[in-house]
Amino acid sequence: MPQIVSSQDDVTSLACDALVVGAHERDDGFELSPPAAAIDDTFGGHLHEALTQFGFKANPGNVQVIPTLGNLPAGAIVVVGLGSDAPVQLASVRRAAAAAARRVSERHQVASALHEGIKGGERAAAEGFLLGSYRFSKYKKHPGGPKIERIVMPGADADEIERGIVYAEATSLARDLTNEPADVLTPAELADRARAAADVGGFECSVLDERELRSGGYGGLLAVGGGSAAPPRLVRLRYVGPDAGVALPKIALIGKGITYDSGGLTIKPAANMETMKTDMGGGAAVIAAVTALARLRAAADVVAYIPCAENMIGPAAMRPGDVIHHYGGRTTEMVNADAEGRLVLADAIARANEDEPAVVVDIATLTGHISVALGKKIAGLFATDDELATELMAAGEAAGERFWRMPLPDDYMSDLDSDIADAKNSGSRYGGGITAALFLKAFVAPGTPWAHLDIAGTGRAESEGHDTPKGATGFGTRTLIEWVEGRAK
């Protein structure tokens, strides 16, 4: 990852391989941002002229590179579209920086004035440059990747740059974990990675192994993990920030950690299995978010649970018709082995109740239904509390991650009625995202505000975007950090 630093140099005097500036959309073309206009003046008006000849459009993320041919200290001017300036959205700054990072990935020394004159622009630009520079090439013989070593942001607030770095590096951690192949990232290995993050970050981590899960009565985790040679784990993280003490309400975060999902005996089609190493994206987001909160020294009291299991076929695999006894005593008739995420989350939510949190939020790549409803760029948000839903929606908007609130009609729960248990784990094909959320709701302590984030569509990208790579996106990480920090304030 490149180093990002502040500078007191004037934007027109910066010596670098590429200088990144912005431009705004206009009905009749484009308008250069003030830093870009200053460069254009120094450049004798050639910047505007060249962009016009290229037919440049300043829609968000559009990039045009203009060589300076030695007429400026910078080797090239990189103009990126910021969309409208009424007002400039931080998501546009983030996207522009990410698009620029991809375009100038072969340059070594880069400067950027994208942030200038935009409140919060430093953080958004820093995030964007790092998100756009991300590559997962760990297993390539010749990794390659971006060559950017340093990014200078003139006049930027160093503290805001650092915040952007923390948010982006947390997202990258979530991406790294989610991109790991399942033969490497087993449930035990995911627990070890969480423990290592806690050791570095200075927060607590404890892990229950399969023997402790059995003695504790975690039937959901044991059932899902029963068909795998790699036994399940339950990770518990605890972060208490400075001045948190007992005054701040406790927040419970829960992330699905299915390190691979074959569908179990309800086996998936072969093509649907190829990406199932990413089924622990929610767990990765929670681990990364807690790591970032510790780095930011957020004044918060957070307890997090990541139930880790591999859903495979084996002699002890759960069978449709089995009755699962969850932690806390509730029972489930398992009718669909490919609806396994809710079974492990149920155990984790029931355990989190004992911590008496003031609020519970879970995040999971839970249902294909949410992708059918909302597509691959918007995640589903279910909540029992309007204020909590509003907070999370606002946090997502600030973080550049889009959510849409979904309904939780109680009468849909009848679709999960069972003749022999408290509920079935799956119903009809209709409204499956809703019934999955309702299944989880039954495990939350009565009266506790709860939200469920279904990131099945957004947790993995099938193609490269401006600030998202192909593969794991780390979606939800920044929203969780933003939300917890917001509650602390």
How far does CA 394 lie from the centroid of its chain? 15
Q: How many CB atoms are located within 10 Å of the residue 265 CB?
A: 19
- Report helix, strand or coil for 432: helix
> Is 268 considered catalytic here?
yes
What is the distance between the alpha carbons of residues 137 and 27, in angstroms, rounded to a whole number? 42
Question: What are the C-alpha distances in Å from 455 to residues 186, 205, 345, 430, 452?
Answer: 21, 25, 14, 19, 10
Q: In sequence order, which residues have a C-beta less than 8 Å from that of residue 235 and are 6 or more positions away?
A: 190, 191, 194, 195, 205, 206, 207, 257, 283, 287, 304, 305, 306, 307, 308
What is the distance between the alpha carbons of residues 203 and 197, in angstroms, rounded to a whole number? 9
Catalytic residue among 135, 150, 214, 268: 268
Contact 165, 137 (CB under 8 A): no
What is the distance between the alpha carbons of residues 343 and 266, in angstroms, rounded to a whole number? 15
CA dihedral 106, 110, 115, 116 (to 10 degrees): -140
Catalytic residue among 163, 256, 342, 487: 342
- Amino acid letter for position 388: L
Question: Which residue's structure tokens are 């959901």?
Answer: 220
What is the distance between the alpha carbons of residues 426 and 436, in angstroms, rounded to a whole number? 7
CA dihedral 96, 64, 67, 117 (to 10 degrees): -40
What is the distance between the alpha carbons of residues 90 and 125, in angstroms, rounded to a whole number? 8
Q: In sequence order, which residues have a C-beta less than 8 Å from that of residue 136 and are 6 or more positions away?
A: 175, 176, 179, 469, 471, 472
Contact 396, 479 (CB under 8 A): yes
Q: In sequence order, which residues have a C-beta less than 8 Å from that of residue 286 and are 6 or more positions away?
A: 237, 253, 254, 255, 304, 306, 363, 480
- Amino acid letter for position 241: G
The residues that bridge with 102 in the sheet, in sequence order, are none
> Is 193 considered catalytic here?
no
* Residues forming the active site: 268, 342
